[in-house]
Amino acid sequence: MNINHTDEAFGLGGRAQVGAPVLDPGINGRRHEDARTVRTASTNSQNCEDQENRQQQQQREKKAAERLLPLKLKPLPAHSEAEMKPTKLTYRHDSFSWGNLLFLCIMPSFNQSIFYPTVFFLTGIPGFETYHAWFSIPFCCLYAIAISGNGMILFVIITESSLHEPMYYFLSMLSFTDLGLCLSTLVTMLGVFWFNAREISFDACIGQMFFIHGFTFMESSVLLAMSFDRFIAICNPLRYATILTNSRIIKLGFAIVIRGTTALVPLLLLLKRLSFCRSHVLHHSYCFHPDVMKLSCTDTKINSAFGLTIVISTAGLDSVLILLSYVLIIHSVLSIASPEERKKAFGTCVSHISAVAIFYIPMISLSLVHRFGKHAPPLVHTLIANVYLLIPPVMNPIIYSVKTKQIRKAFEFNMSSFQNTTSSTSIIFLLTAVPGLEEFHSWISIPFCFLYITALSGNSLILFAIVTQPSLHEPMYYFLSMLSTTDLGLSISTLVTMLGIFWFNAREISFYACLSQMFFIQLFTVMESSVLLAMAFDRFVAISNPLRYASILTEVKIAQIGVAIITRGTLILLPLQLLLKRLSFCRSHVLHHSYCFHPDVMKLSCTDTRINSIFGLTALISTAGVDWIFIFLIIASPAERKKAFRTCISHIGAVAIFYIPLISLSFVHRFGKWAPPYVHTLIANAYLLIPPVMNPIIYSVKTKQI
């Protein structure tokens, strides 16, 4: 019997083929009965399969929910043969697929990126938070010693041609890495101690870690290069100059930088795959890799293994090679017959051995504490971390200055040259009050005393009101308190010399006292210019973006702006004062003002002052000039113009009374050679006294809250 089976028999909804033979009714009836039986069985099977599918779907959804947790992916259970049978599935958007599994397997870090912390919180000295301001004093001293000491080492090696040798090139590399290590942590550490500025973003933390560990690995490499230098100098002195040429030293320097960078980049990238869902409080005042890694709630075995590999392949390998080089050096020295030559050979290595010891001992101690000191007090972690960070940069300049004869001689030569310069110059300058009216100085002092009293009392009252009134603890008044502080500093910087001339005719001032007075006058001038720029930015944000005003100008950011203002002025002005020390003063020693003013002092020199003039003009343009341009652009903006006459009158007045006398005095000194002396005196005193006197009056009259 020829029967064409159709898809209908398998419940797939097919049709009989056209042209199939017609069967008799009996056969046809049995066929329909068989078909109904098959359809009934198919329906029951379909219901069972639908129930299994629903159960499987629920299991898959449960597993998918588990995968959203920051845990490892669990292996999928083995499927039974029944589950592997082909079934009629209804595909939905949330159904499981091998593509989803592949995505979850190869993209785990992107799923975990939602657990990146917004900020970490740094820690100063745990348990002593109320004494952080006092603890900052020794830390500031250590930073000052480290930065100035390594800066002096670099300066001496660069300026002294007798030190242009391989040993001192490597020493300059060591000083450079120590400087980098200090500067990498200076801001966060002093921010924690001074302003309790504990927050640091995740990316900033990674950046700080890169520089801290980068300079650490570089210092280890430099110490290895220095041991190689000592090995060649002692074991093969005849070929020393041909082996360690300048080009090879440069290549070594590049290799040191590249080695540290390539070792660190993968280590920090591995941190970005971790999730941080625990506490975000770090145990140090800077970001340290093991400290950050401990806060992760995901598996850190890869990070730990890679970090350990990096430490062993850099600091570990370097220390072994340094030890091996000294074994060879000792073997070579012991073969020398003369005891004097042995002593001399060992003497050249004492500084390097000390540098190696003060670098590796704190580093190993910190690693051991992080590895095995889980139950150690937090104070121990903090102490060792700060020793590891600050002791090598502080001690290296001291060791090499004391133990290296050439460095010590270079220091002595530079100090004697400075003393010779100042002794050849005039030690005493003569100040001038009002030329031609010396007989009336006591009477002229009356208005000057009145102006000083007004400036000192007015700015002090502004500061007192802002400090004591909680309603004035807002960004605008914080900047106003900075303005009053700079005005007070400017007035006090000249008070003694000016009244000394008017009352006692005390015109003499020493060279160093003159330098100091110039520094403070110019520092407070640059700071006042910066404060006026900050106040313009404050008004701009308040007018153009009032809803975000409080979130943009937080107390921490205002404190950081204040520190930046002081740092900017100091860094720009220190070289200006140092450049004056190289000049000789063999002309008249009479200054044209009642205080020391940089262009006035510079004119008395009988040596070339072009470098001083160019640097002074650059400093003026990069501070007051740039600030004035930005203030003008902010005030001239459309958002500022609408409310300028209502909210910015005080600030515009302060800008005018500061910049007009400053520009006038600069023009008189630049182009007013034939102007009468009293014109110089009048403008110089207006520049000095008008802003401190007028600012409190303007802000008291025009600011309702004050």
CB-CB contact of 508 with 429 (8 Å):
yes
What's CA 408's distance to the chain center, in Å?
32
Position 244 scores a pLDDT of 92
Q: How far apart are CA 673 and CA 118, in angstroms?
A: 60
Instruction: Measure Cα distances from 418 to 422, 512, 613, 652 in Å.
Output: 6, 12, 20, 44
pLDDT confidence of residue 673: 67
Question: What does the alpha-carbon distance between residue 646 and residue 488 come to, in Å, rounded to a whole number?
Answer: 27
Tell me the angle at which helices 378-403 and 405-424 cross, rounded to the nearest 10 degrees: 70
Q: Answer for the pair 593, 600: CB distance below 8 angstroms, yes or no.
A: yes
- Return d(Cα 652, Cα 635) in angstroms, integer: 8
Half-sphere exposure of 329 toward its Cβ, with a 13 Å CA cutoff?
27
What sign for the dihedral angle of Cα 312, 313, 315, 320?
positive
CB-based contacts of 355: which residues, under 8 Å, 6+ apart? 174, 223, 226, 392, 395, 396, 399, 400
Distances (CA, A) of 597 to 44, 77, 493: 104, 84, 12
| Residue 50, phi then psi, degrees to nearest 5 | -60, -40
* Mean of all residue pLDDT scores within the chain: 77
Q: For residues 19-41, give the mean pLDDT.
A: 49
Residue for token pair 């600011």 = 703
Confidence band of 656 (pLDDT split at 50, 70, 90): confident
- Whether the pLDDT of residue 40 is over 80: the answer is no
Selection from 498-502, 631-635, 701-705 with the highest mean pLDDT: 498-502
Please report the pLDDT score of residue 113 as a whole number. 45
Lowest-pLDDT choice from 70-79, 312-321, 531-540: 70-79
Q: Please give the C-alpha separations between residue 691 and each of 40, 336, 488, 561, in angstroms, as whole numbers.
A: 101, 74, 10, 22
Q: What is the mean pLDDT of residues 112-117?
A: 51
Confidence of residue 486 (pLDDT cuts 50, 70, 90): very high
Length of the chain: 706
Domains of the chain: 7-68+87-106 (no CATH), 119-422 (1.20.1070.10), 428-702 (1.20.1070.10)
Q: Which two tokens stand for residue 413?
A: 């030569």
Query: Among 600, 584, 580, 608, which Cα is nearest to 426's?
Result: 584
pLDDT category at 20 given cuts 50, 70, 90 is: very low
Q: What is the pLDDT of residue 11?
A: 40
Helix, coil or strand: residue 559:
helix
Specify the pLDDT at position 173: 94
Q: Of 282, 271, 318, give the one whose Cα is nearest residue 198.
A: 282
Rounded Cα distance, 296 and 278, in Å: 7
Read off the pLDDT of each residue in 662-685 and give the average, rounded to a whole number. Answer: 74
Which value, in Å, is the radius of gyration of the alpha carbons in the chain? 39
pLDDT for 30 beyond 80 = no
pLDDT, residue 215, reads 93
Q: Among 252-266, 344-358, 590-604, 667-681, which is the least confidently predicted range?
A: 667-681
What are the Cα distances from residue 205, in Å, to 78, 196, 214, 245, 671? Answer: 44, 17, 14, 39, 51
Question: Cα 448 to the chain's mean position, in Å?
Answer: 44
Q: What's the mean pLDDT in 267-278? A: 85
**What are the contacts of 564-568 at 24+ separation with CB within 8 A?**
564/530, 565/482, 565/527, 565/530, 565/531, 565/534, 566/527, 568/526, 568/530, 568/623
Confidence at residue 590, expressed as pLDDT on a 0 to 100 scale? 84
Say which range, 4-13, 52-61, 608-617, 624-633, has the weakest mean pLDDT.
Answer: 4-13
Share of the chain above pLDDT 90, in %: 14
The contacts of residue 327 (CB under 8 Å, 6+ apart) are: none
Whether the CB-CB separation of 384 and 283 falls below 8 Å is answered with: no
Spatial contact of 219 and 392, defined as CB atoms under 8 Å apart: yes
CB 378 within 8 A of CB 369: no
DSSP state of 120: E
Q: Which amino acid is at 229?
A: D
Give the C-alpha separation, 144 to 138, whole Å: 10
Greatest C-alpha distance within the chain: 148
DSSP codes, 328-354: HHHHHHHT---HHHHHHHHHTTHHHHH
Q: Which amino acid is at 430?
A: L
Query: Of residues 317 and 544, which shows the higher confidence score?
Result: 317
Strand partners, 510: 428
CB 268 within 8 A of CB 206: yes
Q: Is the pLDDT of residue 311 over 70?
A: yes
- The secondary element (H helix, E strand) that includes residue 508 is strand 508-510
What distances in angstroms separate CA 522 from CA 175, 527, 533, 585, one per listed residue?
31, 8, 17, 21
The three-state secondary structure class of 157 is helix
Q: Is the pLDDT of residue 252 over 80?
A: yes
d(CA 9, CA 36): 9
What is the distance between the alpha carbons of residues 389 and 212, in angstroms, rounded to a whole number?
9
Would you state the structure tokens that stand for residue 390, as one six-digit string?
A: 């600050």
Under DSSP, the state recorded for 283 is S
At 609 the pLDDT is 83
d(CA 9, CA 32): 10
pLDDT tops 90 at residue 178: yes
Cβ atoms within 10 A of the Cβ of 393, count?
A: 27
Tokens 């005390």 -> residue? 506
* Residue with the larger pLDDT of the pair 603 and 336: 603
**212 neighbors 288 (Cβ within 8 angstroms):** yes
